[in-house]
């Protein structure tokens, strides 16, 4: 197995090991889709090197769905057109145990900022502060899922002999969550098992001067931190992240503490 194939397998395993952001009850009126995921954690397909993280996750999900005996795939990444204008896309329409389902797939990274909003859902924001959990939930509820009932979707559904009113709607929403360094956060509505690490402000990273570091590429954010990488000392790490932070981008990094413990963490430019 070459390095590229190995990285794809590690990305796939990271996706599989990421829990659903919430379970059982609906959240914000949205119900999660649950099915038996692959236990083998083998992804046999190749992936174009430049394929973005979100598109990789979709390929991983479709692979698992297609190999589930209780699921029949009907539509994948189906664009909805108004003439030559694309008005949206249905991620997936499938049948689970013969019941039709419209499924929207989401994989996100969120950081807990107690200064944003006043509720648990409002506190979770994207690493660069231009995205929030609440914004995504609203988009799903008021834009992406309603596309099923758009008049231009009817023709697409006719091809698979379905009517919109016959179809249940679900989301498959996975996320990695990060809390402030050395802080404790109480979970009520969200799944605490999604907690993957911490974040620290750039002005505070001297606290980590005795550690070693690794900066994965964006698509490798899916991977679990592992020991067999080229770790760098703090002085090199500090210089390497300066231009990234200057561009107001928060990198996801891996840290190896002096006791050998590994953890994912973000360094953020905002305070």
pLDDT tens digits for 147-189?
999 999 999 999 999 999 999 999 999 999 999 999 999 999 9
Residue 192 lies in a domain: no
Residue-level pLDDT at 3: 61
Residue 209 lies in a domain: yes
Residue-level pLDDT at 4: 82
Give me the residues of the chain with pLDDT under 50, please. none
State which of 131, 154, 181 marks the end of a domain.
181
Residue 95 lies in a domain: yes
Residue 219 lies in a domain: yes
Domain that holds residue 107: 3-181
User: Does 237 lie in the same domain as 171?
Assistant: no
Cβ neighbors of 244 (< 8 A, separation 6 or more) are: 251
The pLDDT mean for the chain works out to 95
Closest to 58 in 3D by CA, of 70, 75, 81: 75
Residue-level pLDDT at 271: 81
Task: Count up the domains in the chain and report the number.
Answer: 2
Find out whether 95 and 74 touch, Cβ atoms under 8 Å. yes
pLDDT digits (tens, 9 = 90+) for 88-99: 999 999 999 999
User: Does 172 lie in the same domain as 201?
Assistant: no
Residue-level pLDDT at 41: 72
Residue 189 lies in a domain: no
Residue-level pLDDT at 39: 65
Q: Report CA torsion sign: 199, 203, 209, 213.
A: positive
User: Does 16 lie in the same domain as 64?
Assistant: yes
Residue-level pLDDT at 38: 64
Residue-level pLDDT at 24: 81
User: Does 207 lie in the same domain as 167?
Assistant: no
Residue-level pLDDT at 36: 81
Q: Does residue 138 sit in helix, strand or coil?
A: helix
What is the enclosing helix (H) or strand (E) of 101?
strand 99-112
């Amino acid at each position: 197995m070459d390095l590229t194939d190995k990285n794809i397998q590690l990305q796939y395993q990271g996706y599989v090991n990421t829990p659903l952001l919430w379970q059982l009850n609906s959240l914000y009126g949205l119900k999660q889709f649950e099915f038996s995921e692959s236990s083998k954690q083998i992804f046999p397909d190749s992936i174009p090197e430049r394929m973005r993280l979100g598109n990789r996750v979709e390929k991983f999900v479709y692979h698992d769905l297609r190999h589930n005996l209780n699921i029949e795939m009907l539509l994948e990444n189906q664009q909805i057109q108004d003439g030559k204008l694309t008005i949206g896309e249905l991620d997936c329409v499938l049948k689970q145990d013969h019941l039709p389902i419209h499924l929207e797939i989401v994989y996100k990274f969120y950081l807990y900022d107690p200064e944003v909003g006043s509720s648990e859902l409002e506190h979770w924001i994207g690493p660069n502060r231009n995205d929030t959990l609440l914004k995504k939930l609203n988009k799903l509820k008021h834009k992406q899922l309603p596309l099923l009932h758009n008049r231009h979707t009817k023709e697409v559904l006719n091809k698979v002999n379905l009517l919109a009113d016959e179809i249940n709607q679900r989301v498959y929403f996975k996320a990695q969550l990060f809390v402030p360094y050395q802080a404790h956060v109480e979970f009520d509505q969200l799944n605490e098992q999604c907690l993957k690490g911490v974040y620290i402000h750039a002005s505070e990273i001297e606290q980590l001067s005795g550690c070693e570091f690794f900066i994965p590429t964006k698509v490798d954010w899916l991977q679990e931190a592992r020991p067999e990488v080229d770790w760098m000392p703090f002085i090199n790490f500090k210089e390497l992240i300066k231009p990234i932070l200057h561009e107001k981008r928060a990198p996801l990094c891996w840290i190896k503490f002096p006791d050998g413990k590994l953890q994912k963490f973000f360094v953020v430019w905002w305070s």
